[in-house]
Amino acid sequence: MRIAMISEHASPLAVLGGEDAGGQNTHVAELAAALAAAGHDVRVYTRRDSVALPVSVRTADGYDVVHVPAGPPEPVGKDTLLPYMEPFATWLAQQWGSGEWTPEVAHAHFWMSGLAALNAGRRTGVPVVQTYHALGTVKRRHQGIQDTSPAGRVDYERILGVAVDRVVAQSRDEVRELVAMGVPRSRMTVVPSGVNLRAFTPVGPVAERVDGLARVLTVGRLVERKGFGEVIRAMRAVPDAECVVVGGPPAGAIDDDPQARRLWALAAACGVADRVRLVGAVPREEMGRWYRSADVLVAAPWYEPFGLTPLEGMACGVPVVGTAVGGIVDTVVDGLTGDLVPPRDPDALGAAIHRLLADRERRLAYATAALDRARERYSWTRTAAQVAEVYAAVTAARRPTRVVA
């Protein structure tokens, strides 16, 4: 199939760890690669955010990335991108209508991409599949007035849910949220993200360890809702262990990062500063080294649409302590591949980490089960096959039925 993926702010080519570059970038890159490997013709459309970017790039993974001129050719925070979705859509419609390459289906990632895809799809007859990656209702609930999303986001997301040909949700929790918003369950298919089982393996190079200290690893963009503050507070109950935080700006720039400073100040206030290390952003290809170096991976977000890092840890054979939110409830089986605790509860988190670090047998059992679960259920090949089934269904539903005389 000819497949267009729209990912307005999250380029599959971006460096990860920064404020707006994380799971969606990985998801789009891996899904595009897996679909291309299955023989599909895939183009990913993302906003051109630098004058240095060529119009189109052929990736080593066999798909194209097309840089769409919409808004200034410079980085723009995702919460201010909405006005550029109209020119984005017009550009897509012109391309798809020109006859050079018309997709059979467009898959939008994030709500703003959905608006652009729907607009272009309406003008060119291309069906649209929507994946949200994050929902405005959930963000507003947790962030309150700190949520800088454009006004109207929740309404747009609801409208998209009924206007697109199909919604691909990533977890059971997301389905529940969408139903509560008024999107009919019958319009959704659940397909989880995957994990790159070649990049994330239990055997391979290991990041250097400190003698005599167990390692608690936590990974993600340095934003408050990722719960790094709770992990640092939890370290008070975890003696003889260091906490390594991967993510944020590159190592050279981390000293000036306001979020990093906040975490250091908190570590000092908790009396654990000598056991907390912020290593900054790590390139995707080096992430396996860090996961493998950990005794336990902690994923403690306040909320999480899907959460790739627990799965990446599981694929490296690392037991997980996670908060029971969003997609983590689907990926981590409590008491079998890891432990789940309530969000924003550093005492419960500390107790769970402490218990697991004190119990080698339990860690081994969790690690084995986690690896097995990641391999059986979360390969990108499997995810791509399920998504391709959705594409086939929406294109078939659009085809006029032939009347046999």
Out of 5, 167, 281, 374, which residue is the one contacting ligand UDP (CB under 6 A)? 281
Count of C-beta atoms within a 10 Å radius of residue 103: 27
Out of 4, 11, 12, 22, which residue is the one contacting ligand UDP (CB under 6 A)? 22
Q: In the range 23-42, which residues lie near ligand UDP by CB under 6 A?
A: 23-24, 26
CB of 261 to ligand UDP, least distance (A): 18
Residue 247 touching ligand UDP (CB under 6 A): yes
Residue 208 CA to residue 290 CA, distance in Å, equals 9
227 burial level (CB within 10 Å; 0-12, 13-18, 19+): buried
Out of 17, 136, 227, 346, which residue is the one contacting ligand UDP (CB under 6 A)? 17
Cβ(19)–Cβ(223) below 8 Å = yes
CA-to-CA separations, 278 to 41, 224, 247, 253, in angstroms, rounded = 40, 15, 8, 11
CB of 154 to ligand UDP, least distance (A): 19
Q: In the range 212-241, which residues lie near ligand UDP by CB under 6 A?
A: 219-221
Residue 237 CA to residue 351 CA, distance in Å, equals 7
CB of 137 to ligand UDP, least distance (A): 17
Residue 114 touching ligand UDP (CB under 6 A): no
Between 209 and 284, CB nearer to ligand UDP: 284
Between 27 and 354, CB nearer to ligand UDP: 27
End-to-end CA distance of the chain: 30
Residue 287 touching ligand UDP (CB under 6 A): yes
CB of 311 to ligand UDP, least distance (A): 8
Between 16 and 341, CB nearer to ligand UDP: 16
Q: In the range 301-330, which residues lie near ligand UDP by CB under 6 A?
A: 306-309, 312
Between 284 and 289, CB nearer to ligand UDP: 284
CA-to-CA separations, 142 to 146, 262, 330, 343, in angstroms, rounded = 9, 19, 21, 11
Residue 204 CA to residue 224 CA, distance in Å, equals 32
CB of 7 to ligand UDP, least distance (A): 12
Binding footprint of ligand UDP, residue count (CB under 6 A):
20
Order of strands across the sheet that contains 241-250: 276-281, 241-250, 214-219, 296-299, 320-323, 338-341
Place of tokens 């183009």: 43
CB of 231 to ligand UDP, least distance (A): 14
CB of 251 to ligand UDP, least distance (A): 10
Out of 14, 16, 231, 300, which residue is the one contacting ligand UDP (CB under 6 A)? 16
Q: Burial letters for 139-159: b for 16+ Cβ neighbours within 10 Å, e otherwise? A: beebbeeeeebeeebbebbbb
CB of 2 to ligand UDP, least distance (A): 27
Cβ(135)–Cβ(327) below 8 Å = no
Mark the segment that binds ligand UDP (CB under 6 A) among 1-9, 254-262, 282-290, 344-352. Answer: 282-290
Residue 317 CA to residue 297 CA, distance in Å, equals 10
Residue 194 touching ligand UDP (CB under 6 A): no
Packing angle, helices 23-37 and 308-315, rounded to 10: 60
As beta bridge partners, residue 56 has 66
Q: Pairing mode, if any, of strands 56-58 and 64-68?
A: antiparallel
Residue 366 CA to residue 353 CA, distance in Å, equals 13
Where do the DSSP E strands lie in 132-204? 166-169, 188-190
Closest residue by beta carbon to ligand UDP: 22
CB of 376 to ligand UDP, least distance (A): 20
Residue 161 touching ligand UDP (CB under 6 A): no
Out of 123, 284, 355, 362, which residue is the one contacting ligand UDP (CB under 6 A)? 284
- What is the contact surface with ligand UDP in residues (CB under 6 A)? 16-17, 22-24, 26, 219-221, 246-247, 281-282, 284, 287, 306-309, 312
